[in-house]
Structure 1
């Protein structure tokens, strides 16, 4: 004899569980749809801030950094109830770009570097942001060399070297650092090219001074 009542109860339980899951997935998808544009906005504003740093436009830097941070905070608040989405990757990218902009501003200006808590990002995003900010210094370094400011150029090269050395000591799996090793490989290549540029400029400067002294 078939227990119809029991079958109905079992189906109702399955439907209840599935409905709960469906509601949760719907909420997560809604959060994702809201957070993605905020993350993209953060990345755009951070990129504009970095360009403004290189152009020495402090007011534009401040404006774009404020826009980036506002967008990032929206994304962080929206995704906070959904840990799976927090670690999906797109929030990390936005945090990394925001950190890169903040750290580029500090490194170019010779200011103390703000830590992850001050920037308001995860440690892994901060480390990758710092690594890419150090790579961004190459543009500023070349500008200083073209202007004949060799001392500042050498100082920027030293900062790039320090960042590479410090972050190279973080020997953890990529699953924890979100690709820091790859970013470090890129920084090393930028660092070596920059070291060659500084060395060439130093030698040219010495030769020019020697020629002038003989004249």
Structure 2
């Protein structure tokens, strides 16, 4: 009798574990897909393919929603980390899209993500923005570059006020340290470019003045 009872218990537990295993596998696949879609969206954004970027971010969001739904009944799996990683990548893509296009920054409730993933994703978006700023500098779009740098600064200034243990913020302090270094390099690059442009303008003005003076003398 006891052996039969134990077999029933074991079978019931096995079924429960199988359900968790299936949920984990589906959620992992969805999270991997979401991360890949976000990476493609960011690449599209840097190429200024904004419609493609928007579509890819929408697909990534659907994958995250699916993963969250599968993991919700299992808190141990829900907070295992891979869902939060996917959410962080999604926040990075959405925030970078908003920064580049000059839109309002997305809110965590709007994106439907955990607040730690949101904060770290915002930091990553500000860091990734450096690449777009460099492209603007090469294109001579200094005003837009200065605007993006100001937004990067504003994001950093707020993030460093979240002085909580890493157990709550999931390494936000380290991410902010990396962002500070990115900001310093970006500000230096922008300063050098602006100075060069000013020097070029001054030289061009001087040459024009000399040419005008020579024409009057001639």
Secondary structure of 1:28's counterpart equals helix
Q: Deviation per CA, 1:57-90: give whole Å up to 9, x if none.
A: 1221122112111111110100010011111010
RMSD (Å), alpha carbons: 1.6
Runs (4+) off by over 2 Å: 11-26
Write the distance in 2 (CA, Å) between the matches of 1:165 and 1:18: 54
1:102 matches 2:116: no
Structure 1 gaps of 5+ residues are 1-7
Write the distance in 2 (CA, Å) between the matches of 1:63 and 1:180: 29
Q: Which residue of 2 aligns with 1:177?
A: 169
Q: Determine which of 65, 78, 81 is the counterpart of 2:73.
A: 81
The TM-score with structure 2 as length reference comes to 0.89
Q: 1:175 to 1:15 in 2, by over 3 A?
A: farther
Q: How far off is 1:25 after superposition? A: 2.3
Write the distance in 2 (CA, Å) between the matches of 1:133 and 1:164: 11
Write the distance in 2 (CA, Å) between the matches of 1:207 and 1:193: 21
Q: Which residue of 2 aligns with 1:151?
A: 143
Write the distance in 2 (CA, Å) between the matches of 1:158 and 1:108: 12
Q: Which residue of 2 aligns with 1:191?
A: 183
Write the distance in 2 (CA, Å) between the matches of 1:19 and 1:184: 49
Q: Determine which of 155, 170, 173 is the counterpart of 1:163.
A: 155
Q: Which residue of 2 aligns with 1:136?
A: 128
Write the distance in 2 (CA, Å) between the matches of 1:22 and 1:185: 46
Write the distance in 1 (CA, Å) between the matches of 2:109 and 2:77: 21
Greater Cα offset, 189-198 or 144-153: 144-153
Secondary structure of 1:111's counterpart equals coil
* Aligned counterparts, 1:57-96, within 5 A: 57-96=49-88
Write the distance in 1 (CA, Å) between the matches of 2:189 and 2:9: 64
Q: Deviation per CA, 1:41-66: give whole Å up to 9, x if none.
A: 00000111111111111221122112
Write the distance in 1 (CA, Å) between the matches of 2:123 and 2:184: 15
Q: Deviation per CA, 1:154-201: give whole Å up to 9, x if none.
A: 111111111111001111111111221221122111111101101111
Write the distance in 2 (CA, Å) between the matches of 1:91 and 1:70: 13
* Aligned counterparts, 1:16-95, within 5 A: 18-95=10-87
Greater Cα offset, 133-142 or 24-33: 24-33
Write the distance in 2 (CA, Å) between the matches of 1:16 and 1:168: 54
Q: How far off is 1:16 after superposition? A: 5.6
